[in-house]
Structure 1
Amino acid sequence: MIVAIIITVLHFNNINLEFSLPLQKTFMLMFFATVGLAANYTQLMKGGAKVFVFLAIASIYIIIQNSVGVGLATLLGLEPLMGLIAGSITLSGGHGTGAAWSTTFTETYGIANTLEIAMASATFGLIIGGIIGSPVAQRLIDKNDFESEYGRGNDTHERFPELVTYNENERDRVTAKKVVEVLFILLICVTGAKYLHEWVNTFEIEWLMIPDFVYALFIGVFITNICEVTKSYKVDAETVDILGTVSLSLFLAMALMSLQLWNIFDLAVPFLIILAVQSVVLAIFAYYITFRVMGKNYDGAVIAGGHCVSA
Structure 2
Amino acid sequence: MEITLNGYYTLILATLVLLLGRFLVKRIKFLEDFNIPEPVAGGLVAAIVVYILNIVWGYSFNFHQGLQTATMLMFFASIGLSADFGRLKAGGSPLLIFTIIVSVFIILQDILGVAMASALGLDPLLGLVTGSIALTGGHGTAGAWGITLEEQYGVVGATTLGIAVATYGLVAGGIIGGPVARRLIKKLGLKPTADNPNPSDVEKLASEQSLYSTKHSEEEVHSNKEMFEKPDNIRLITASSTIESLALFAAALAFADLMTLVAQDTWFELPTFVWALAGGVILRNTLTMVFNFDMFDRAIDVIGNASLSLFLAMALLSLKLWQLTDLAGPVLIILLSQTVLMIGYAYFVTFKLMGKDYDAAVLSAGHCGFGMGATPTAIANMQAVTDRYLPSHKAFLIVPMVGAFFVDIVNATILQIFTKLPFM
Structure 1 length as normaliser, TM-score? 0.90
% same residue = 41
1:110 CA displacement: 1.1
SS in 1 for 2:57: coil
- Answering whether residue 82 of structure 2 is matched by residue 38 of structure 1, we say yes
Contact 1:19 1:257 survives alignment (8 Å)? no
Given candidates 184, 191, 204, the residue that maps to 2:254 is 191
1:24 CA displacement: 0.5
Which residue of structure 2 lines up, in the alignment, with residue 290 of structure 1? 350
**Distance in 1 between residues matched to 2:93 and 2:222, nearest whole Å:** 25
Deviations 1:125-179 (A, max 9, x none): 111011101111122112313467469xxxxxxxxxx679599xxx953222211
1:238 CA displacement: 1.7
Which residue of structure 2 lines up, in the alignment, with residue 91 of structure 1? 135
Which residue of structure 1 lines up, in the alignment, with residue 378 of structure 2? none
Which residue of structure 1 lines up, in the alignment, with residue 362 of structure 2? 302
Residue identity in the other structure for 1:274: I
SS in 2 for 1:41: coil
Contact 1:69 1:274 survives alignment (8 Å)? yes
Within-5 A mapping of 1:78-227: 78-146=122-190, 149=205, 165=222, 173-201=236-264, 204-205=265-266, 207-227=267-287
Within-5 A mapping of 1:258-277: 258-277=318-337
Cα-Cα RMSD: 2.1
SS in 1 for 2:326: helix
**Distance in 1 between residues matched to 2:55 and 2:308, nearest whole Å:** 30
Deviations 1:76-96 (A, max 9, x none): 111111111100111111111
Which residue of structure 1 lines up, in the alignment, with residue 56 of structure 2? 13
Residue identity in the other structure for 2:238: T
Which residue of structure 2 lines up, in the alignment, with residue 159 of structure 1? none
In the alignment, structure 2 segments of 5+ residues that lack a partner are 1-43, 191-200, 208-217, 227-233, 372-424
SS in 2 for 1:18: strand
Deviations 1:88-117 (A, max 9, x none): 111111111111111221122211111101
1:232 CA displacement: 4.0
Q: Which has the higher contact order (CA 8 A, sep 6+)?
A: 1
In the alignment, structure 1 segments of 5+ residues that lack a partner are 152-161
Given candidates 313, 317, 328, the residue that maps to 1:253 is 313
**Distance in 2 between residues matched to 1:123 and 1:218, nearest whole Å:** 26
Worse-matched range after superposition: 250-259 or 230-239: 230-239
SS in 1 for 2:168: helix
**Distance in 2 between residues matched to 1:232 and 1:210, nearest whole Å:** 30
Which residue of structure 2 lines up, in the alignment, with residue 233 of structure 1? 293
**Distance in 1 between residues matched to 2:151 and 2:252, nearest whole Å:** 23
Deviations 1:159-209 (A, max 9, x none): xxx679599xxx9532222111111110111122112111211xx22x312
1:20 CA displacement: 2.3
1:5 CA displacement: 1.2
Deviations 1:215-245 (A, max 9, x none): 1111101111111112442111122111111
